[in-house]
Amino acid sequence: MSPWRAACLYGMSDRAPADTKNLDIYGHEPLEWARVRRDLGGAPERDIAAFLATVRPDGRPHSAGIGPAWVDGEMYFTSGPGARKARNLAANPACTLSLRLPTVDLVLEGEAARVTEPATLEAVAARYRDGGWPAEVDGDAFTAPFSAPSAGPPPWHVYRLAFHTVFAVATTEPHGATRWRFER
């Protein structure tokens, strides 16, 4: 297993971009990665519009609204094992996550992998509870009295999105557009 893949599967918080490219055509400076991290860390998940895009086995795209959780510099989400997004990820872990944050629109590109480590599951469940969803760890998954219809029935598996490329377009001052790449 590559060091990058191992770090993605077993946690690597506070990653810093290896490369930054200014995509702005209007003369604005590149956006700061710290701005994205502040937006991700400060916005309650219930206030974030987020859509996970996966690829079906026949190559057609699939998109579903999800409730993301940003914990210790990593992005997590849930899905029932029978939901289309989970079945797609089992066949092909490549995905994108598009988010509307308080000051930027963001797209994370990478691979999603199921998380089963008890300490990570509890940290993610705590973040969801802080945001208003009463998730509890049950074995290697979550249960709760309710969830989004797109998650499928419980139990819900937890996934970590190991992003390698991130695009941001600012929606407030200072404006700009930037791409960051992360070490693999």
If one counts every other C-beta atom within 10 angstroms of the C-beta of residue 8, the result is: 24
The count of residues in the chain is 184
Q: Is 0.75 surpassed by the pTM of this model?
A: yes
Domain that holds residue 141: 3-181
- Predicted confidence at residue 131, as pLDDT, reads 87
Taking the C-alpha atoms of residue 3 and residue 17, their distance in angstroms, rounded to an integer, is 16
User: How high is the pLDDT of residue 8?
Assistant: 34
Query: Measured at the alpha carbon of residue 46, what is the angle toward residues 84 and 66, in degrees to the nearest 5?
Result: 10
CATH number for the domain spanning 20: value is 2.30.110.10
Number of domains in the chain: 1
* pLDDT values of the chain reduced to their tens digit, one per residue, 184 residues: 233 233 333 333 568 999 999 999 999 999 999 999 998 887 666 678 899 999 999 999 999 999 999 999 899 999 999 999 999 999 999 999 999 999 999 999 999 999 999 999 999 999 999 988 999 999 999 999 998 877 888 999 999 999 999 999 999 999 999 999 998 7
